[in-house]
Amino acid sequence: MFEKALGLPLHVLVVHAVVVFVPLLVLLALAYIALPRFRARLDWAVLLLAVIAPVTAWVGVESGEALQERQIARGFSGDILEKINEHAEYGEVLFRFTLGLAVAVILLLVATSGHPRAPKLPRWLPPVLSLVVLGLGVAALSYVWLTGHSGSEMVWGNTFD
């Protein structure tokens, strides 16, 4: 299911979505925190990204595992297999941080919504959630870079030096 799309390895296609949607989630979530007067305009976009970003990260992990199994079956071993495993580990951590970020963002949206059906929450909760979003956002961006860099190094190596 996660091997190919349009004749190409699905992983090659979906990683580009991860590289766009995870940083966009971080950027808009930070804008939501820093610019309270624009929250009504940002909330749906932030919510949508909080759903899309972890889904793309998960599909990236699953499709990467399918590609990894295919490469092992083709006889990849040694140094390249170690690089593939390192890249896969970065991707797993990226997914976990992105999922945590998405949950924290959704909780922040609920805590700051002011909607009558939203539960009455302590006043300290939105600032704490804002700090959690900031921390997870930095971690997610770091792992987007680490995962992407390790993957591109495997594919492109020193081609552009």
Chain segment 31-84, per-residue pLDDT in tens: 999 999 999 999 999 999 999 999 999 999 999 998 888 888 888 788 888 888
pLDDT at 158 (0 to 100): 60
- Inter-CA distances, 129 with 51, 110, 147, Å: 18, 11, 26
Task: Map out the domains of the chain as residue ranges.
Answer: 4-156
At 8, the pLDDT band (50, 70, 90 cuts) reads confident
- Inter-CA distances, 124 with 41, 131, 147, Å: 24, 11, 34
Chain segment 114-137, per-residue pLDDT in tens: 877 777 788 999 999 999 999 999
Can you give the pTM of this predicted structure?
A: 0.90
What is the average pLDDT score of the chain? 91
